[in-house]
Amino acid sequence: MKPPLLEVSGLSHDGRGVARRDGKTVFIAGALPGEQVRCRVTRARARFDEAQLLEVLRASPQRRAPPCPHFGHCGGCTLQHLSDGAQLAAHQQQLAGALERIAGLQPGQWLEPVASDPFGYRARARLAVAWDAGARRVALGFRRGASRVVEPLDSCPVLAPAAGALIAPLAALIATLAAPGQVHELWLATGEPGLALGVACAPALDAPDRARLEAFAAAQGAVLHFGVIAAHGEEPQWTEAGPPLRYATAVDGPVLEFQPWHFTQANRGVNRALIAAVLAQLAPGAGDHVLELFCGLGNFTLPLATRAARVTGVEGDAGLLDWARRNARINGLANTEFVAADLAVAPAGAAWARARYDLVLLDPPRNGAAALLPALARLGARRIAYVSCDAATLARDAAVLCARGAWSLTHAGVFDMFPQTAHFESLAVFDRLAVRARER
Ligand SMILES: C[S@@+](CC[C@H](N)C(=O)[O-])C[C@H]1O[C@@H](n2cnc3c(N)ncnc32)[C@H](O)[C@@H]1O
């Protein structure tokens, strides 16, 4: 019997087509909204099915041939088969849909969505290495979807060209090392200017293999770092073998130094647009004290500090905080202070949470900032800017903030930080309602 025809009505948060069959939701990888498809159910669950696309009978006008030959196997991209403009529109719909569905909210005003260069934008990547001793072959690339299998790449069109150009020669070089099986990951990062390569091993490589990688990095003009993975599943411990990279937060803005293992926003151009939007929305004045939660190595802190009286940055990673302090020093911004705290829990009695602030910025990881919301509402701020990489947790937190009756969602917008994938950044802005009433 032929698999049934399905009408695809939407796109899921992870980029799969969504259809209904016998009252049950079906997620179809590779299908697009508006399409009529045949698919095969690969996994039946209680509340939904997962399916493999077999045939597209009526294609979306926005479907295109994926530019990368690895698309469909490589776990790095999920939306290359959708035109660039339609990807941006889909992300916009996803943010609007999450705010409406989860929080019952619409912003007072939508910010113009910010598009990116569609390819060559990704400034850093963490690639897996798999050594097949029998075939004496190295697979270097991203893992395939949810599996541990590494898709062997010879190039990657979303990576910054300087980093992408290292993939094929590195795979060839690793295959000729004395101990190729000891290389587990390559961390690539580009700066403005500069290129760095982190080689994560378990156990550490012997001197001759290290020397060959050092010669390769020198020939490519890349700073080389070695990392050792002490136990399975642990993060590499890196040696700082060379100078840091740097990037600019704006044309004339503070310049931040970093190493390839530090969290930095993946897309420099969209990051600059996001910083500019945060500055425009918060509009810090010379008398304002700003609190920034999840501040990392100072990506927003330092631009804010060029305008505000004072910025207090809070972050959980002590290593990143050292670099935030260093970056403040390098940029001559003495009006910053940085505090280490676990922001996954409520800040019971912490000094930073007892102070008063005029403005707040938060940029949490994917799971959002649920534990902080009661404290946020008590800080006295007139405006909160919330940068998010997960529309669902942003909407969940927005619902809590606005349900307390004290805050309203004034602006929201999409920043297309990761084209060709289902991921994007959002900015949501909340005003304290009492402040808005006073201003009227
Ligand atoms: C999305 S990144 C943003 C970093 C920074 N705002 C930037 O733009 O580069 C999230 C940050 O939250 C930090 N973080 C994650 N979990 C945390 C926790 N439980 N407590 C404090 N900080 C945490 C990470 O170390 C990371 O720096």
CA quadruple 252, 258, 264, 267: dihedral, nearest 10: 50
- Nearest CA owner, ligand 1 atom 8: 299
Question: Which amino acid is residue 25, in one-letter code?
Answer: T
Kindly give, in sequence order, each residue whose CB lies less than 8 Å from that of residue 376, ignoring residues fewer than 6 positions away.
Answer: 360, 362, 369, 384, 401
- Report yes or no: 368 and 387 within 8 Å, Cβ to Cβ: no
Q: What DSSP string runs through 291-323?
A: EEES-TTTTTHHHHHTTSSEEEEEES-HHHHHH
Partnered with residue 118 across adjacent β-strands are none
Nearest-10 crossing angle of helices 84-103, 391-403: 30
State if residue 48 touches ligand 1 by the CB under 6 angstroms criterion: no
- Report yes or no: 337 and 315 within 8 Å, Cβ to Cβ: no
In CATH, what is the architecture of 124-238? Beta Barrel (2.40)
Question: Which amino acid is residue 34, in one-letter code?
Answer: G
CA torsion through residues 260, 264, 270, 271, sign: negative
**Residue 39 bears catalytic tag:** no
Q: Along the 440 residues of the chain, how does pLDDT read in single tens digits?
A: 778 899 999 999 999 999 999 999 999 999 999 999 999 999 999 999 999 999 999 999 999 999 999 999 999 999 999 999 999 999 999 999 999 999 999 999 999 999 999 999 999 999 999 999 999 999 999 999 878 899 999 999 999 999 999 999 999 999 999 999 999 999 999 999 999 999 999 999 999 999 999 999 999 999 999 999 999 999 999 998 789 999 999 999 999 999 999 999 999 999 999 999 999 999 999 999 999 999 999 999 999 999 999 999 999 999 999 999 999 999 999 999 999 999 999 998 899 999 999 999 999 999 999 999 999 988 999 999 999 999 999 999 999 999 967 899 999 999 999 999 999 999 999 999 865 555 44
The DSSP element (H or E) to which 428 belongs, if any, is strand 425-432
d(CA 139, CA 285): 52
What's the CA-to-centroid distance between 317 and ligand 1, angstroms?
7
What's the CA-to-centroid distance between 351 and ligand 1, angstroms?
19
pTM of the model: 0.96
Question: Tokens 């099915």 map to which residue?
Answer: 49
- Nearest CA owner, ligand 1 atom 13: 294
Q: Report domain 88-117+267-439's class.
A: alpha beta
d(CA 223, CA 239): 12
What pLDDT does 184 receive? 97
Joined together, the tokens standing for residue 231 give 């136990």
∠325-234-392 over CA atoms, to 5°? Answer: 70
138 closest CA partner among 176, 166, 178: 176
- Report yes or no: 201 and 228 within 8 Å, Cβ to Cβ: yes
Q: Specify whether domain 5-63 bears CATH 2.40.50.140.
A: yes
What's the CA-to-centroid distance between 391 and ligand 1, angstroms?
17
CA quadruple 389, 391, 395, 396: dihedral, nearest 10: -70
Kindly give, in sequence order, each residue whose CB lies less than 8 Å from that of residue 111, ignoring residues fewer than 6 positions away.
Answer: 277, 411, 412, 413, 414, 427
d(CA 95, CA 375): 25
d(CA 293, CA 159): 29
- Report yes or no: 318 and 292 within 8 Å, Cβ to Cβ: no
Give how far Cα 47 sits from Cα of 12, 102, 151, Å: 15, 19, 31
Give how far Cα 6 sits from Cα of 43, 55, 178, 279, 373, Å: 17, 10, 53, 46, 42
- Nearest CA owner, ligand 1 atom 23: 316
Give how far Cα 350 sits from Cα of 158, 296, 345, 356, 357, Å: 42, 19, 11, 13, 14
For the chain, the structural domain boundaries read 5-63, 88-117+267-439, 124-238
State if residue 342 touches ligand 1 by the CB under 6 angstroms criterion: yes
156 closest CA partner among 275, 55, 74: 74
CA torsion through residues 394, 396, 402, 406, sign: negative
What pLDDT does 378 receive? 86
Distance of CA 390 to the CA centre of its chain: 9
- Report yes or no: 173 and 179 within 8 Å, Cβ to Cβ: no
Question: Which amino acid is residue 98, in one-letter code?
Answer: A
> Which is the catalytic residue, given 39, 68, 77, 389?
389
What pLDDT does 365 receive? 98
d(CA 408, CA 387): 16
State if residue 381 touches ligand 1 by the CB under 6 angstroms criterion: no
d(CA 166, CA 266): 18
What's the CA-to-centroid distance between 364 and ligand 1, angstroms?
6
Question: Tokens 């305008």 map to which residue?
Answer: 307
State if residue 10 touches ligand 1 by the CB under 6 angstroms criterion: no
Joined together, the tokens standing for residue 292 give 């920034």
* 220 phi/psi in degrees, rounded to 5: -90, -5
15 closest CA partner among 422, 426, 423: 422
- Evaluate whether 88-117+267-439 and 124-238 have a shared fold: no
3-state secondary structure of 367: coil
Kindly give, in sequence order, each residue whose CB lies less than 8 Å from that of residue 176, ignoring residues fewer than 6 positions away.
Answer: 212
What pLDDT does 435 receive? 55
